[in-house]
Structure 1
Amino acid sequence: MRRTTSRSTSDQISDIDMTPMLDIVFIMLIFFIVTTSFVKESGIDVNRPTAQTAEKKEQANIIVSIKANGEIWIDKRAVDVRAVRANVARLQAENPLGSVIIAADRDTKTHVLVQVMDQIRLAGITNAAIATETESK
């Protein structure tokens, strides 16, 4: 009888408690979720113009795209030029540190680009940038 009792206690001692490891895994998961930044895309591809002085801009969270035919896209949906101000203001309120980039097609009419820039400035954002491609040398 004694041997069976000693075996059962040795089996209990050899079990590994997984709770601390699971706690650490969940803490790491929460840390990575909180520190991850998500990039919002406009939802369309445009042929951007080239520029020699193009600079890479980090932390561009609001992208306003303008197609060659004048369609304006924000957050993967087409919007009217009159709705640009409200959409940009809403996205800026969600992420105050983000910046606005206008990705206009190289064949976009200038008046559409100026209207979009005007709506962005009316939303209170004065440092909107225009996306370009770097020229290959």
Structure 2
Amino acid sequence: MARSFSSQDEAEEEGNVDLTPMLDVVFIMLIFFIVTATFVKETGVEVNRPQANTADQKNNPSVLIAIREDNSIWVDQRRIDIRSVRANIERLHAENPEGGVVIQADELASVKTFTEVLDQAREVVPPEKVSLATENGG
């Protein structure tokens, strides 16, 4: 015995939309964007950087170091001692060996502190990958 469908049953079946493939695509795109996203690294403190006409944008540094006006040194939102700068740079640089080191020194910070941090950074990464962050004055 053949089962007969009413026109209402046929209309319901034609009107149903399967959303599963669309949800699969959305989740795959979400995973793709999360994996490929570049996260902005912050030092955790605000620094008044000096201005320079030759300021340049560096791509994705692996280590950001901030030197505040009171000569305190900050890495990864933590205050560190001058003696532990090299160890912190080594640890963070190991996570991204292609990246460089950017030092954000306050314009009122001591040149002596900046030089010590710069020397320790150059012991870990090549000198051309170590730079000073400045404000673009042009």
Q: Alpha-carbon deviation of 1:61?
A: 3.7
C-alpha RMSD over aligned residues: 1.8
Q: Which 4+ stretches in 1 moved above 6 angstroms?
A: none
Structure 1 residues without counterparts, runs of 5 or longer: none
Any residues of structure 2 matched to 1:3-22 within 5 Å, and which?
5-6=5-6, 7-22=8-23
- Which residue is 2:97 aligned to? 96
Which of 108, 131, 134 is the aligned partner of 2:133? 131
User: Quick one: structure 1 residues 118 and 88, their matched pair in 2 at CA, closer, same or farther if it must change by over 3 Å?
Assistant: same
> TM-score normalised to the size of structure 1?
0.87
2:47 is aligned with 1:46: yes
Q: Which runs of 5+ in 2 are unaligned?
A: none
How far apart, CA to CA, are the structure 2 residues paired with 1:132 and 1:12?
A: 65
SS at match of 2:71: coil
Q: How many positions carry a matched residue from both structures?
A: 134
| TM-score normalised over the length of structure 2 | 0.87
CA shift digits 1:106-132 (9 cap, x unpaired): 111111111111221222342200111
Aligned to 1:24: 25
Cα distance between partner residues in 1 of 2:78 and 2:65: 10
Q: Do the aligned partners of residues 84 and 63 (structure 1) sit closer, same or farther apart at CA in structure 2, a change above 3 Å counting?
A: same
Counterpart residue type for residue 16 of structure 2: D
- What is aligned with 1:66? 67
| Equivalent residue number for residue 79 of structure 2 | 78
